[in-house]
Structure 1
Amino acid sequence: MCVRGPVGVGVGDQALTRSLNSTTSSKSSLFIAVTLTIAILYFGRFIFIPLALALVFSFLLTPFVSLLEKAHLGRVPSTLTVLALCIVIAVGVGWEVTAQLLEITGHIGDYKENLEQTIRSLNIPRNTALGQATATMRELNKELDAAPGKVATANPSGAKTNPSTSHPIPVQVTAPPTNLVQDVHTLIGPVAGPLETAGIVIIFTAFILIKREDLRNRLIRLGGEGRLTVVTQALDDASRRLSRYLLMQFLVNATYGSIFGVGLYFMKLPHALLWGTLAALLRFVPYIGTLIAAAFPVVMALAVFPGWNHALMIVGLFLILELITANLIEPWLYGTHTGISSLAVLVAAVFWSMLWGPVGLILSTPLTVCLMLAGRYVQRLSFLEVLLGDEPVLSAHELLYQRLLAMDQDEARNLMEKELHERSLQSLYEEIVIPALGLAEEDRHSDAVSERTSEFIYQSMRELIDDLGEQARTQSTTGEAADVAKALSGSQLAKINIICVPARDGADELVGMMLSQLLQQAGHGADYIVIGTVHDMLEQVAQSGCHTVCVSALPPFAVGQARSLCKRIHARFPELAVIVGLWNFAAGAQKAQERIGSSCSDAVATTLSEALLQVRRLSAASDQPDTGKAVASSAK
């Protein structure tokens, strides 16, 4: 009886209302926290961008600092040595690249003639639609260029012009003299922001490298109270994955840019160092970075060299390098697996680039890996792993059941056929089909699905099991499987008749159907009984003349029915060997034997493989040629 409160509301209803309010409040708090975090990252980007860069550089440089420490150089000297070397390399390459970039901007006008000749070499016929459109656009451009001159010379009113207004009086604005401080500010003004950011990054990186153990311990203390193991695993996983990924990616991209630049140098393309450095940097940008890196030298080749030969050679070099790097080098060194789905990488690139600009675009993948790891080890952030990770969010049996819930029998069939090509029929039944039936049973008994949907699921399962069994029999008629089946057909095992009896409902019948298929493949004379009344099923057992009965029961609600049916079979046919199958029983075979009891069954199995072993064991132990007659006489 439901106890009513003072206003006539049940206690169960009150608990449900509190649960719904708690869930809504939790979701609202999570939304507010995410929105606030994004706002902080955006408005505090002048601090967070250098800090993020410093973290990435610390992961990248930690192996080199550790290597110098093993040479007994000391933590601080090792850190300063590595940072000094990196700064020298960066300044040297940056100086040369900047000089080449300025040289290009100073000679843009010299490349105009070559570009025009290259475009004219396309020789677009004037009688085509594209040729006519091009000619029209050229005429419009000429008209627009001539329009200001015509307006200036035209005088539609015929009035005389005032000579004093036709010639403007020249005015010269003279700036006041500047001092040394203003000259320095004007000189370094455009690069003051990047230099300031670079200085902050260097300072952050130095302190993180020198105090990395202290920072690690503080993070563990901050988030590891009561969860020391989880936080330690998260930090180890993040540091190991990020450090290896960033180091390998840096080496691969640097090698890629070097080879690309050397190739351009031998093609006589000007400023090869600039294009090689650009290719190495842009490879950090997901998907579009390499395309942009290849586009710049192609345009440069069209501007410098007549014709298309050099441009096509650069495209060929790019394709060869990209195919080898993406399909051979990267999978061999560190794999393309970062734990992030392709869609998440793309969305992260857009998100971080909008939040932090070009720096966010380069840092998008490392930052997304950190977010995914946080979702893996922090329960409240588990949705991040689901959204960003590339692991299947639904297991195979959950996906099968979900497709059947959606009444998509075709996709369910395709999934099963695909799995059958990758595993055996027994493994397919044990690991996918039976767990999917277990989910269906739980939902059916809790009234989570309608009767119509439940009937569709069981009917579809029956058809799938029939088709899978037929495919397996077809495959076993050739090769070694046929020889094994032929050998078994003449053995003692083939003379044993086994009948599979469902304990409670259609799901038990379907598992019995699977077991009978596997027994037939093993050379046994096996069959199954369709669900019906206990009396009718016992009559079919009596008429079959079988030697062994396997009671099929799919938990969680079939244990009592299986025990009752087992006792009735044992009471009526004491000569029969009885095997009880409690499929996917969580506590294991020994606990299942205790639940069923040893007085009414000869063996208990929790998987199809265990059932096959028990059948083989019982058949090997029994040598009673007149058992069938005994069963028939007891039926009378």
Structure 2
Amino acid sequence: MKAETTASGASIAESPDPRVGVRDELRLMRSMLIGIFILMTAAALYFARAFFMPVILAFLLALTLTPIVRFLRKRGIPEVVSATLLVLLSIFIFVSAGYLLSGPVINLVNNSYSIGQQLTERLAPFKRPLEMMADVSRQLGALTETAQEPGVQRVAVAPSGILSTAASNILGAGTSITIVFVLSLFLLASGTLFYEKIVQSFTSLSQKKRALRVVYDVEREISHYLLTVTLINAGLGTVIGLGLWGLGMPNPLVWGAAAALLNFLPYVGALITLLLVTVIALISFDSISYALLAPSFVLLCDIIEGQFVTPVMVGRRLEINAVAIFIAIAFWSWLWGFIGALMAVPLLVVIKVFCDHFDGLSHVGNFLAAQQAIVVEDEPAENNHKAA
């Protein structure tokens, strides 16, 4: 049916196509379903964190050790043997680190109050106004306590069930750690089982080839990134620990381990390490100028690692923009605490690599990527003449 025209030749607008409205409604329903799915996933991860946390940690550990298993397999060592040796080595490193660091860390926690007092006394010349405000607050607190009515007794309620709570927490942590290592052992020892199952779920040969190529690419990039970053952080912690030991810092092993562990948190981890080392250095050395050498050395190591070592060894393609990193750290720390914060960036890289291999999710991977230089082409000369 042709559109009617007026006397001047202008066509009269046809009635709107009902299919356009249906498509808009379907698009809206799809967006709502995606939002509901995201909210339900976040709720499941929060309330079932006792299950999801060790499982995801096991997958990350398996991906980290996969390049080593693949390298040993090419040398004729079966996956079961190499996976068992690597998991046992990981358990040995974990137990040894916990044993060596437990004593100094407990001492630091027990002496935290005295450390705070020493730091306040050391920085008294620089924080005199704050110290006066603190004195006024303490005096007001003392007046409030003395102004209580006579005969009124203050009752302190001791928390009940401390031993049972601590025992249950220790048991839960031990169970989670066991799940992590055992599940990672099975994942590493399974070899190509998961790839075979993925290929068998498709019918056509072209789909099987594409699925296998995508799975291999994603697994290779993620495992390379995790292993490389782990080695870089271990090297950073070793250098910082040796440097602080040379400067005479107390407990250099603790600060080296803290630097290696916290460096999984970009920006935030380096800042926390720098602040902790600065506090301990200020109360450990008599000269403030000499005390500042320790944080200066840590800052120099972080700059070299962040600006030169990691970009060269990891590559620019897997860089994540700072906004996405901070949002991920805030979200996973709210979801799973400190362990979730440590897992935030590796999981973000996993999501980015996965999205880069699918056209429908490429915009998500582009959003997570670091900012790149945008080349603006010059306009044609004829457009410039028209503008003139």
TM-score by length of 2: 0.83
Residue aligning to 1:40: 44
State the 1:288 CA deviation: 0.8
Paired letter, 2:56: A
Aligned to 2:196, which of 194, 203, 217? 217
1:489-519 CA deviation, whole Å, 9 max, x = no partner?
xxxxxxxxxxxxxxxxxxxxxxxxxxxxxxx
Q: How many percent identity over aligned positions?
A: 23
Aligned to 1:14, which of 18, 21, 44? 18
State the 1:317 CA deviation: 0.3
1:55-114 CA deviation, whole Å, 9 max, x = no partner?
111111112223433443422121111111111111111111111111223444654664
1:386-420 CA deviation, whole Å, 9 max, x = no partner?
4323476x985xxxxxxxxxxxxxxxxxx45xxxx
Residue aligning to 1:348: 328
Alignment partner of 1:95 is 2:117: no
Residue aligning to 2:345: 365
Alignment partner of 1:82 is 2:80: no
User: What is the rounded CA distance, in whole Å, between the counterparts of 1:312 and 1:148 in structure 2?
Assistant: 41
Describe the shift of the 1:21–1:109 C-alpha distance in structure 2 as closer, same or farther (beyond 3 A).
closer
Aligned to 1:144, which of 141, 144, 147? 141
* Cα RMSD after superposing both structures: 3.5
> Is the 1:294–1:315 contact (alpha carbons within 8 Å) kept by the matching residues of 2?
yes
Describe the shift of the 1:140–1:27 C-alpha distance in structure 2 as closer, same or farther (beyond 3 A).
closer
Paired letter, 2:142: D
State the 1:240 CA deviation: 1.9
User: What is the rounded CA distance, in whole Å, between the counterparts of 1:36 and 1:67 in structure 2?
Assistant: 40
State the 1:44 CA deviation: 2.9
1:279-304 CA deviation, whole Å, 9 max, x = no partner?
10000012211110121122112233
> Is the 1:267–1:310 contact (alpha carbons within 8 Å) kept by the matching residues of 2?
no
User: What is the rounded CA distance, in whole Å, between the counterparts of 1:24 and 1:333 in structure 2?
Assistant: 43
- Once the two structures are superposed, the pairs formed by residues 165-564 of structure 1 within 5 Å of their partners are 188-222=167-201, 227-390=207-370, 415-416=376-377, 462-463=386-387
Secondary structure at the counterpart of residue 270 of structure 1: coil
Task: Please list every run of 5 or more consecutive structure 1 residues that lacks an aligned counterpart in the other structure.
Answer: 4-8, 125-130, 156-164, 176-181, 397-414, 417-427, 435-457, 467-636
State the 1:362 CA deviation: 1.6
Describe the shift of the 1:141–1:107 C-alpha distance in structure 2 as closer, same or farther (beyond 3 A).
closer
State the 1:241 CA deviation: 1.4
Higher helix proportion (structure 1 or 2): 2
1:579-629 CA deviation, whole Å, 9 max, x = no partner?
xxxxxxxxxxxxxxxxxxxxxxxxxxxxxxxxxxxxxxxxxxxxxxxxxxx
Alignment length (residue pairs): 374
Task: Please list every run of 5 or more consecutive structure 2 residues that lacks an aligned counterpart in the other structure.
Answer: 4-12
Describe the shift of the 1:139–1:318 C-alpha distance in structure 2 as closer, same or farther (beyond 3 A).
same
Describe the shift of the 1:391–1:291 C-alpha distance in structure 2 as closer, same or farther (beyond 3 A).
closer
State the 1:211 CA deviation: 1.0
> Is the 1:330–1:336 contact (alpha carbons within 8 Å) kept by the matching residues of 2?
no
Describe the shift of the 1:41–1:219 C-alpha distance in structure 2 as closer, same or farther (beyond 3 A).
farther
> Is the 2:58–2:180 contact (alpha carbons within 8 Å) kept by the matching residues of 1?
yes
State the 1:123 CA deviation: 7.5
TM-score by length of 1: 0.53
Paired letter, 2:38: V
State the 1:342 CA deviation: 2.9
RCO higher in structure (CA 8 A, sep ≥6) = 2
Structure number with greater Rg is 1
Describe the shift of the 1:311–1:192 C-alpha distance in structure 2 as closer, same or farther (beyond 3 A).
farther
User: What is the rounded CA distance, in whole Å, between the counterparts of 1:271 and 1:354 in structure 2?
Assistant: 30
Describe the shift of the 1:115–1:24 C-alpha distance in structure 2 as closer, same or farther (beyond 3 A).
closer
User: What is the rounded CA distance, in whole Å, between the counterparts of 2:344 and 2:117 in structure 1?
Assistant: 41
